[in-house]
C-alpha cells in the first residue's frame, strides 16, 4: 500500500476501532456524545499507529489515540489556546513569539489525532493548507524580519502533505529568505513511516538546511518501519531531533523514558524536548504533576548521558513561552566558593576566582 492509500484508509469511526479491540464504557461514551456534539476533537489514527497498541485498556499507545469520556472533564484553568498563540500571530499563519524564530502553521491535517493535542482547535479548524495569499504574506513578513533565522513548519503535520505542496511552501519561504534554517515538526516517522519515501528525503535534502523534529512518546513507537524512516533521513544527512510530551499512563516513569531516549539515540536521533502537558481543555487525565516530572528527570540524570537527555520544558499558559524546568544542583555561595549537590546528592564546592 502506498503512503497515500494508508493516509486515505485511516481509522475514523467507532466501528473501525472496535474491529481492533473491544472498547471500554468510557471510550464508547466519547463516540456517543461526539455523534451530536461537533465541538469534540474527533477520533483519527493511521492503521500503523493503532496496530502498535496492545489490547489492555490502559495500554500506553491506546491512551494516546483512543478518545474517552474523560475528555469532557474540563478544569477551570484549562484554555482553548493554551500557549496564547493567537496573540503572537503576525501574518495569519505565522507565529513570531521568540526573537530569532518563527512558526508557520502549514496545514491543519495530522496522521493521528493525539488525545492531548494543545493545538486541537487549529487541527480541527478546517482551514486546510496555507493558501497562496497566506504563504506570500508569511514570506513577505520573513523578508522584512531579518532577525528571524529559524523557521519551524508545523500545523497539523506538514509531512502528511504531498511532496509538491510541501516543497512549494518551502521554496516560497526560501526564495524570500535563502539563509533560513527550516525545521519540520512531525509525527509522521512514528505514525505514518511509509510517508518517508526516497523522493521526500531527496527533496528535503535539496532544500538543506532542514531539520526534522519527530514526535515520539513511547518506545513501542520506534517500530521497524519507524527505524527505516529515520534511517533514511539521517543517512541522507538530515539531522533528526525528537520531542515528547510527558503523559500520564503513557511515559510517566523513568524506565519508559529511559527506553525511549536510549532507543532514539540508537536510531541517531537526539532527544530535544520533553514537554510538560499543556493546559488544553479536557486533557487533565493525561497530564502529570509538574513535580513528578522533575523527579523523573532527576532520576534520568543519574542513568542517561547528556546526549540522551532532552530538555524538560513547559510552555507557560497564556503566551509566556517555553521555559526549561530543571532540578537545581546549585545551592548558593560562601565568601570564597559556590556550593553544589552532585546528581547523587553529595555536597561539592567550586572556587570563586577573582
Ligand X SMILES: *Cc1c(COP(=O)(O)O)cnc(C)c1O
Applying CB under 6 A, the residues found at the interface with ligand X are: 95, 97-98, 101, 103, 152, 322
Instruction: Give the DSSP H or E segment for 240.
Output: strand 240-245
204 is a contact residue toward ligand SF4 (CB under 6 A): no
Is 220 annotated in the active site? no
| 3-class DSSP assignment, residue 211 | strand
How far from 75 is each of 41, 68, 78, 287, CA to CA, in Å?
A: 17, 16, 5, 12
- Give the nearer residue to ligand SF4 in terms of CB position, either 174 or 183: 183
What is the end-to-end Cα distance of the chain in Å, rounded?
A: 68
Is 195 annotated in the active site? no
Among 113, 127, 174, 262, binds ligand SF4 (CB under 6 A): 113
Is 235 annotated in the active site? no
The site partner of 113 among ligand SF4, ligand X, none (C-beta below 5 to 8 Å per kind) is ligand SF4
Is 114 annotated in the active site? yes
Among 11, 103, 110, 247, binds ligand SF4 (CB under 6 A): 110
The site partner of 17 among ligand SF4, ligand X, none (C-beta below 5 to 8 Å per kind) is none
How far from 33 is each of 29, 72, 107, 151, 274, CA to CA, in Å?
A: 6, 9, 27, 39, 32
118 CB-side CA count, 13 A: 24
222 is a contact residue toward ligand SF4 (CB under 6 A): no
Question: What does the DSSP assignment read for 98-127?
Answer: ETTEEEEE--S--SS--TT-TTHHHHTS--
The site partner of 97 among ligand SF4, ligand X, none (C-beta below 5 to 8 Å per kind) is ligand X
Is 110 annotated in the active site? yes
| 3-class DSSP assignment, residue 334 | coil
114 is a contact residue toward ligand SF4 (CB under 6 A): yes
Is 97 annotated in the active site? yes
Catalytic residue among 28, 47, 89, 101: 101
Shortest CB 210 distance to ligand X, Å: 15
Backbone angles phi, psi at 14, to 5 degrees: -60, -40
The site partner of 40 among ligand SF4, ligand X, none (C-beta below 5 to 8 Å per kind) is none
- Residue written as cell 481509522? 11
Catalytic residues: 97-98, 101, 110, 114, 117, 119, 278, 315, 322
Amino acid at each position: 500500500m502506498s503512503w497515500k492509500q494508508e493516509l486515505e484508509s485511516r481509522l475514523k469511526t467507532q466501528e473501525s476501532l472496535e474491529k481492533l479491540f473491544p472498547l471500554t464504557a468510557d471510550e464508547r461514551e466519547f463516540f456517543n456524545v461526539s455523534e451530536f456534539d461537533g465541538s469534540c476533537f474527533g477520533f483519527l489514527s493511521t492503521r500503523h499507529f493503532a496496530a502498535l497498541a496492545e489490547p489492555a485498556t490502559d495500554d500506553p499507545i491506546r491512551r494516546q489515540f483512543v478518545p474517552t469520556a474523560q475528555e469532557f472533564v474540563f478544569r477551570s484553568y484549562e484554555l482553548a489556546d493554551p500557549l496564547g498563540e493567537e496573540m503572537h500571530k503576525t501574518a495569519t499563519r505565522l507565529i513570531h513569539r521568540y526573537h530569532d524564530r518563527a512558526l508557520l502553521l502549514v496545514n491543519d491535517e495530522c496522521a493521528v489525532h493525539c488525545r492531548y493535542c494543545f493545538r486541537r482547535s487549529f487541527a480541527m479548524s478546517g482551514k486546510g493548507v496555507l493558501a497562496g495569499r497566506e504563504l506570500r504574506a508569511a514570506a513577505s513578513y520573513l523578508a522584512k524580519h531579518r532577525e528571524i533565522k529559524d523557521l519551524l513548519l508545523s500545523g497539523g503535520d506538514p509531512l502528511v502533505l504531498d511532496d509538491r505542496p510541501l516543497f512549494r511552501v518551502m521554496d516560497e519561504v526560501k526564495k524570500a529568505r535563502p539563509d533560513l534554517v527550516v525545521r519540520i515538526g512531525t509525527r509522521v516517522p512514528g505514525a505514518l513511516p511509509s510517508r518517508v519515501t526516497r523522493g521526500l528525503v531527496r527533496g528535503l535534502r535539496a532544500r538543506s538546511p532542514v531539520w526534522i523534529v519527530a514526535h515520539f512518546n513511547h518506545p513501542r513507537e520506534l517500530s521497524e518501519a519507524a527505524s527505516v524512516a529515520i534511517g533514511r533521513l539521517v543517512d541522507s544527512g538530515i539531522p533528526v531531533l525528537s520531542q515528547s510530551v510527558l503523559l500520564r499512563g503513557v511515559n510517566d516513569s523513568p524506565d519508559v523514558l529511559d527506553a525511549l531516549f536510549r532507543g532514539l539515540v540508537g536510531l541517531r536521533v537526539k532527544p530535544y524536548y520533553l514537554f510538560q502537558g499543556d493546559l488544553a481543555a479536557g486533557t487533565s487525565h493525561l497530564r502529570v504533576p509538574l513535580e513528578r516530572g522533575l523527579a523523573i528527570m532527576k532520576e534520568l540524570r543519574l542513568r542517561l548521558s547528556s546526549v540522551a537527555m532532552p530538555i524538560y520544558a513547559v510552555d507557560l499558559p497564556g503566551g509566556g513561552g517555553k521555559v526549561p524546568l530543571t532540578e537545581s544542583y546549585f545551592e548558593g555561595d560562601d565568601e570564597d566558593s559556590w556550593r553544589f549537590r552532585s546528581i547523587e546528592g553529595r555536597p561539592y564546592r567550586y572556587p570563586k576566582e577573582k
